[in-house]
Copies of this chain bind each other. A is one copy, B any other.
Amino acid sequence: MALIVQKYGGTSVGSAERIKNVARRVAATRAQGHDVVVVVSAMSGETNRLVALAHEMQEFPDPREMDVVLATGEQVTIGLLAMALKDIGVDAKSYTGWQVAVRTDRAHTKARIEEIDDGKMRADLEAGRVVIVAGFQGITADGDISTLGRGGSDTSAVALAAALKADECQIYTDVDGVYTTDPRVVPEARRMDTVTFDEMLELASLGSKVLQIRSVEFAGKYKVRLRVLSSLIEGGEGTLITFEEDENMERAIVSGIAFDKNQARINVRGVPDKPGIAYQILGAVADANIEVDMIIQNVGEQGTTDFSFTVPRSDYKATLELLHNSQSSLGAAAIDGDDTVCKVSIVGLGMRSHVGVASTMFRTLAEEGINIQMISTSEIKVSVLIDEKYMELATRVLHKAFGLDQNQAG
């Protein structure tokens, strides 16, 4: 008998019928003798509906109130799933983020989990109940409702698994595992049986969309055994995220290609080329809780420099406005940007021991006439920023160039 945390995303609970289907899966796990904690997202489409309503009220909705509105999506799902379980004879009880309680910091709409009280959940599990927890949400020290940002339900699940020392955290999604890249873009993409945490971290952060990055970080930090499975297909093994590299001796050099359209480029042109200018520009952006990803600084003319960086597309307007407000104090000649860019990345542990991987990537893109706007690298990945219209093309040619189309170990 194990303790299993199962997380079902928006598509898996997207209709009354699908919620009932989730109830049957949970009941089956329960019937195998396991204790089950279920984390659910809002029904698909619901979060978008709520965001649209909020934007009808305010161009930039108040973050505290945004969380009040957004948190209702998951609250509906937990109640419905509890009913569906009771309807098939499985005792269950639902909890919102504040009821559990999932304590977070005060960064509304992108809060971080600080602490989870497992008391209520343990009592219910001991009483033989399935525990259902609303993903994506928590409560601040002030008693305000907070949310963790898009995809936050994965993080909720992993954090709960860590707090409860669960034997496995299963993330059910609409794909049956982690692929070498998105099969909708490259039909030849293959499911990986295992992937290492380091690789998954890069794949998640680069927008592979299967798992939210913070959930992977969390899982790595607390050594939570994490598995990605399909909620639509019965009996699949999914992809297990492994801690041990040596489980995968025969890895390919590049194990996956990720891409991410949630990118916008900001250019601060003609600023004085003096120490501290990067901090002056990026400090203000960081203070506004906007995440900066890629950064480059070009040498300009006559003691000035051009400074470029990328932010999530949803923060594009706010970043531009923020910088325009401090344009004169920065001494910038111009501030502009482009929100029609995307990031494409190759990821693989094998890159550590192989040279020439980046140059193969650049050559492959050049042969297709794709211009590279920015480059960033880490030990196990190379990312490039390109025009979003080339995203699919770039992914396809890279997938082929690194031999991911062929069946191979890993």
Query: A-side interface residues toward B, CB under 8 Å?
Result: 16, 19-20, 50, 53-54, 56-59, 61-62, 64-69, 71-73, 75-76, 78-80, 82-84, 86-87, 93-94, 96, 98-99, 143-145
> Known contacts A58-B87, A72-B75: does B99 contact A80 (CB below 8 Å)?
no
Does the CB pair B86–A56 fall under 8 Å?
A: no
Nearest B residue to A71, CB-CB: B75
Tell me if B75 and A62 are in contact (CB < 8 A). Answer: no
Contact of A76 among B64, B69, B143 (CB under 8 A): B69
Please name all residues of chain B whose beta carbon is closer than 8 Å to the beta carbon of A50 when the two chains form the complex: 76
**Contact A65 B53, beta carbon cutoff 8 Å:** no
Q: Which residues of B contact A64 (CB under 8 A)?
A: 93
Task: Say yes or no: B98 contacts A83, CB within 8 Å.
Answer: no
Tell me how far the C-beta of A93 lies from the nearest C-beta in chain B, rounded to whole angstroms.
Answer: 8
> Given A98-B98, A99-B143, A143-B99, A54–B68 Cβ distance below 8 Å?
no
CB distance from A104 to the nearest CB of B (A): 16
Whole-angstrom distance between the Cβ of A305 and the nearest chain B Cβ:
38
Alpha-carbon separation in the docked complex, A16 to B58 (Å): 11
**Hey, which chain B residues are within 8 Å of A94, CB to CB?**
65, 68
Task: Give CA–CA (A71, B66) in the complex, Å.
Answer: 17
Q: Which of B80, B99, B144 contacts A57 (CB 8 A)?
A: B80
Residues of chain B with a CB closer than 8 A to A71's CB: 75
Question: Are B62 and A80 in contact, with the CB atoms below 8 A?
Answer: no
Report the separation of the CA atoms of residues A12 and B144 in the bound assembly, to the nearest whole angstrom. 26
Q: Which residue of chain B lies nearest to A75 when distances are taken between CB atoms in the complex?
A: B72
CB < 8 Å neighbour of A53 from B56, B76, B99: B76
- Smallest CB-CB separation from A69: which chain B residue? B79
On whether the beta carbons of B53 and A66 are closer than 8 Å, the reply is no
Instruction: State how many angstroms separate the Cβ of A293 from the closest Cβ of chain B.
Output: 29
Q: Roughly how many angstroms separate A54 CA and B121 CA in the complex, as a whole number?
A: 24
Q: Which of A50, A65, A76 has the most CB of B within 10 A?
A: A65
Q: Would you mind naming 15 contact pairs between A and B with Cβ atoms under 8 Å apart?
A: A20-B57, A58-B83, A58-B84, A61-B83, A62-B83, A62-B86, A65-B79, A65-B94, A68-B75, A68-B79, A72-B72, A72-B73, A72-B75, A98-B98, A99-B143
Told that A16-B53, A57-B80, A69-B80 touch, could you supply 18 new A-B pairs with CB distance under 8 A? A50-B76, A53-B76, A54-B79, A58-B87, A61-B83, A62-B82, A62-B86, A64-B93, A65-B80, A65-B82, A65-B83, A65-B94, A66-B79, A68-B78, A68-B96, A69-B76, A72-B76, A98-B98
Chain B, residue nearest A101 (CB): B143
User: Is A54 within 8 A of B66, CB to CB?
Assistant: no
5 tightest Cβ-Cβ pairs between the two chains A and B:
A69-B79, A68-B79, A57-B83, A72-B72, A16-B56
Whole-angstrom CA separation of A82 from B83 in the bound complex: 32
A66 closest partner in B (C-beta): B79
CB-based contact A57/B16 at 8 Å? yes
- Give min CB distance, A359 to chain B, whole Å: 51
Q: Which residues of B contact A68 (CB under 8 A)?
A: 75, 78-79, 82, 94, 96
Q: Which residue of B lies closest to A74 (CB)?
A: B72
A73 to B73, CA, bound (A): 10
CB distance from A148 to the nearest CB of B (A): 17
CA distance A359 to B78 in the complex (A): 55
Chain B minimum-CB-distance residue to A57: B83
Contact among B57, B84, B93 with A87 in the assembled complex (CB-CB below 8 Å):
B57
Min CB–CB distance A18 → chain B (angstroms): 11
Q: Say yes or no: A69-B61 contact (C-beta < 8 A), given A54-B80, A83-B54.
A: no
Report the bound CA distance from A84 to B62 in whole Å.
10
